Structure formats: C-alpha cells, structure tokens
Amino acid sequence: MQIHIVASGDTITSIAQLYGATSAAIIEANELSTPNELVIGQALVIPIIGQFYFVQPGDSLYDIAQRFGTTYQALAEINQISATATLPVGLRLYIPPRPKREIISIAYVEPMGDTVSTPLIHAVENHAEKLTYLALFSYRVQRDGSLVAPPIDNLATIAGNHQTALMLVVTNLEEGAFSSELGHIILTVQSVQNTLLDNLVNTATSGGFHDVHFDFEFLLPEDREAYNDFLRKAKTRFAQAGLTLSTALAPKTSSTQTGIVYEAHDYAAHGEIADFVILMTYEWGYSAGPPMAVSPINEVRKVVDYALTQMPADKIILGQNLYGYDWTLPFVAGGPYARAVSPQQAIQLARENNASISYDIVAQAPFFQYTAADGKTHEVWFEDARSIQAKFNLIEEKQLRGIAYWKLGLSFPQNWLLLTDQFTITKVI
C-alpha cells in the first residue's frame, strides 16, 4: 500500500494518475464520502502492490533500501537504474512489498446496554476475519466472585464464522470505574478467588472462549504480589481446562514507576506467568487532560523498550487506540471533557471547518485546530495512516507478537488496509 498526503491542488484523479491507481479504488479504500473535497494534510491509502518513493535531497539508493528493508541492488534492478547512479531529487522509485510476518491481532468490543447495537455487529462482521481474537469487554467480577456478563447476542457466531477466537475479558469494574477495594477483595479473599476461578472456567468452556484476559486496574500497590500469586493460581486452573491466560498492563517505563495505575503491575511476573500481555500504550492524550497525541510513538517506544527488559518480544502485544479527541480550548483542568472522535470523524471535522491537518513528527500523530460555530477554538488529535504505520514499523522492528485495538466500532479504514497488507493474521482456532 502507498500512503499519500494530500497537498494543495491535489484531486482524486491526479493522485490516482500519480500512482497508477483508479479514482474508484482510492475512494472505496478510504471510504471517501466527499471525494471532491479533500483536506490538505489528509493521509490517503492508495491500494497498489508495493509502494512508490520520491527521492529527497541527500538520499542514496543504499539509504532508501535500508529504510524499506531491501537491498540497493534489488531496488536498482526493479527500477532499471544503475546501482551507483546519483539519484535526482523527485525521482520516483518503486518499492516492492516486503515478506509478511505472522502476528496476533486482537480487538476489544464493548457492547453497551442490554443488547449489542447493530453498528457494533456490523463492525465485528466487517473486521472479524482480520482478528485472531475478539475480546468481549467485560465480565465484571462481583464481591462474592460471581460474574456479570456483557450482552453477547450473536457475536460468538460471527467470530466463529471467521475462525476468530473469543477472549473473555475480566475486570474489577464497579459502578462504572475500576475499584481498588474490589481488586483487593479478589486478590486476598481465598473463598472469593475460588468462586471466581470456578465461574471463569465454567463460563469460558461453556461459551467457547479460548483465552481469559485479566484487565485489573487501579490495584493497590501493596497487592502486587497478591496479584502475581492469583495469576499463578489462575494459570494452573486454566491450563487444566485448555484455556490460555493473558493480562493488560499499564504503560510503565521502569520497575520503580510510582502511582496506583502502575505499581501493582509486575511486568516480569506477568511475562513469566501469562501466555501473552497487552501493553495499554495509549491515553497520554485523554479526555480529562490537555490536548496531545493519544499514543505518541516516542512514549510508546519507551514502554516497549522497558517491557523487552522484562519479558521476551513474543509475549508482547502492542495496544493501539482507534480514536482521537476533540478538545475545546483553552484547556482548563476539571473542565469539560474532550469528545472522542473516530479518524473518519476527525477528517470530516477538518473538512467542514476548512482546517488543514498538521503532523507532529516526534509524536508521529496528526492534529489540527478549528473554530466552532460558537466561536470557540478546538484542537483535535487523532490517528491516520502515518501514525498507525509508525506503530506497525515498531512491531516489526522489535519483533513483537502483535497488536490489540481499543476498540471496535470507530471507523478507521486505513488501519485495516495497512494491517492486512503488511502482516498475516494468525488464527488459533
């Protein structure tokens, strides 16, 4: 696939001609509802095999080959140029696709209310084939060890039709928030633990689940070892039942990181006990905080680098958001929360408000500002083809096991095109 950034004067026709594609294919791939109203700075995925690169000042064939994981001899041959030739700025080079590596792809799904909404069902139908696991969020633990299940409806059937395994997500959510007190009861009261594990095994085996995934957050720091012991106990029970165990980990950058979000999450222990872990590498920019990238690549990289000192790469799944936020400026702590938006909604906002999209090179994330009808200035940070490609590059560079998305239901067509173009998705059933 090719990523093209819309510049002033670009049209769908001119972009298609540049890459030897068709306008119809570009419109369909990017789900463009207004193809004649492109936004300057908008990232488009061009559905071609391989990609083109336009030579920049200072480039050499060797440097370009290194960047794309090939050899300068191969580039010279396929582009019918001399391997030692000086490259003129602006020369278009064809870059062949690199071999695909197998990874695990996971997507959380969070049904709200008593039934699964039709749009959410459609999202699962559209993307299940691209997933190893569909993670049902969430089975909420009660103080007696019983479980409150989310609505499932026909999600299990849809997943099964695409050989997508089910992941049972267990949380210490209570009254809409993660509860330290509930977590402490689960991790320290043996009778509650025993009841919970019985219920998890019964629910998972009867419901056709493949993995049980613990997303216990805001645990008391003093419950760190109790959590490790609980996971060891759970792992023994699950293995006997033919189930795998995974956990969600807060985005730590050191073993001494303080704060109730981090301290009870022991990377080394989880790496030893769990079959795999999901790093929750998002929410630097969050709804109650100041505007910034949700998953800036420089911060994500720090978490991955630390995790690799505690566990092997083949146990690490990179967490990735499928959303951005729209903040009202000036930001005031304790003020109104930012509004969550999908990547497609963000581009629509930019188009409707005649805003150009900028790109933060350090964070590897797109953003823009606009003035709303009420005269207030807004700042939007979101994901696009470039930002998700940066995460895919990190997965490839560090040889991580895969990616996990929070969450299905928000439109981001470029992500799915790039995912399946660059990786083969492992199926475990």
Task: Please say if 31 is a catalytic residue.
Answer: no
Residue 162 identity (one-letter amino acid): H
Task: Please say which residue of 41, 72, 95 terminates a domain.
Answer: 95
Q: Are 273 and 265 in contact (CB under 8 A)?
A: no
Q: What is the mean pLDDT of residues 110-116?
A: 93
Task: Please name which of 29, 4, 6 lies closest in space to residue 356, comparing C-alpha atoms.
Answer: 6
For residue range 46-97, what is the model confidence (pLDDT) as tens digits?
999 999 999 999 999 999 999 888 999 999 999 999 999 889 999 999 999 9
CATH number of the domain residue 91 falls in: 3.10.350.10
Give the pLDDT band (50/70/90) at residue 98: confident
**Cβ count within 10 A of residue 21:** 18
Say if residue 107 is in the same domain as residue 80.
no
Give the pLDDT band (50/70/90) at residue 113: confident
Q: What pLDDT does residue 214 have?
A: 98
pLDDT at 220 over 90: yes
Say if residue 67 is in the same domain as residue 185.
no
Which residues span the domain enclosing 88? 2-95
Helix (H, G, I), strand (E, B), or coil: what is residue 354? coil
Q: Are 419 and 37 in contact (CB under 8 A)?
A: no
Task: Map the chain to HEC letters.
Answer: CEEEECCCCCCHHHHHHHHCCCHHHHHHHHCCCCCCCCCCCCEEEECCCCEEEECCCCCCHHHHHHHCCCCHHHHHHHHCCCCCCCCCCCCEEEECCCCCEEEEEEEEECCCCCCCCHHHHHHHHHHHHHCCEEEEEEEEECCCCCEECCCCCCHHHHHHHCCCEEEEEEECEECCEECHHHHHHHHHCHHHHHHHHHHHHHHHHHHCEEEEEEECCCCCHHHHHHHHHHHHHHHHHHHHCCCEEEEEECCCCCCCCCCCCCCCCCHHHHHHHCCEEEECCCCCCCCCCCCCCCCCHHHHHHHHHHHHCCCCHHHEEEEEECCEEEEECCCCCCCCCCEEECHHHHHHHHHHCCCCCEEECCCCEEEEEEECCCCCEEEEECCCHHHHHHHHHHHHHHCCCEEEEECCCCCCHHHHHHHHHHEEECCCC
Using CA atoms, how far apart are residues 103 and 276, in angstroms rounded to an integer?
12
Say if residue 169 is in the same domain as residue 153.
yes
Task: Please say which residue of 60, 95, 130 terminates a domain.
Answer: 95
Give the pLDDT band (50/70/90) at residue 208: very high
For residue range 247-268, what is the model confidence (pLDDT) as tens digits?
999 999 999 999 999 999 999 9
First to last CA, the chain: 29
Strands in 339-341's sheet, in edge-to-edge order, are 339-341, 324-328, 377-381, 365-371, 358-360
Say if residue 112 is in the same domain as residue 89.
no
Q: What pLDDT does residue 176 have?
A: 94
What does the mean pLDDT of the chain come to?
A: 97
Backbone φ and ψ for 22, nearest 5 degrees, come out as: -110, 150
For residue range 370-419, what is the model confidence (pLDDT) as tens digits?
999 999 999 999 999 999 999 999 999 999 999 999 999 999 999 999 99
Q: Is 123 left (phi over 0), alpha (psi -120 to 50) or beta?
A: alpha
- Give the percent of the chain with pLDDT over 90: 98
Helix (H, G, I), strand (E, B), or coil: what is residue 335? coil
Q: Is 285 exposed, middle or buried (0-12, 13-18, 19+ CB in 10 A)?
A: buried
Using CA atoms, how far apart are residues 347 and 380, in angstroms rounded to an integer?
10
Using CA atoms, how far apart are residues 69 and 62, in angstroms rounded to an integer?
10
CATH number of the domain residue 355 falls in: 3.20.20.80
pLDDT at 271 over 90: yes
Say if residue 67 is in the same domain as residue 118.
no
Say if residue 117 is in the same domain as residue 80.
no
Say if residue 129 is in the same domain as residue 74.
no
Q: How many structural domains does the chain have? A: 2
For residue range 20-31, what is the model confidence (pLDDT) as tens digits?
999 999 999 999
Say if residue 216 is in the same domain as residue 234.
yes
DSSP state of 64: H
Q: What pLDDT does residue 85 have?
A: 87
Sign of CA dihedral 252, 256, 259, 262: positive
Active-site residue, selected from the candidate residues 174, 217, 225, 283: 217
Q: What pLDDT does residue 376 have?
A: 96
Task: Please name which of 401, 364, 358 lies closest in space to residue 379, comparing C-alpha atoms.
Answer: 358
Say if residue 71 is in the same domain as residue 120.
no
- Give the percent of the chain with pLDDT over 70: 100
Task: Please say which residue of 95, 128, 156 terminates a domain.
Answer: 95
For residue range 124-171, what is the model confidence (pLDDT) as tens digits?
999 999 999 999 999 999 999 999 999 999 999 999 999 999 999 999
Provide the whole-model pTM: 0.95
Say if residue 179 is in the same domain as residue 164.
yes
Say if residue 144 is in the same domain as residue 31.
no
Say if residue 87 is in the same domain as residue 120.
no
Q: Are 376 and 364 in contact (CB under 8 A)?
A: no
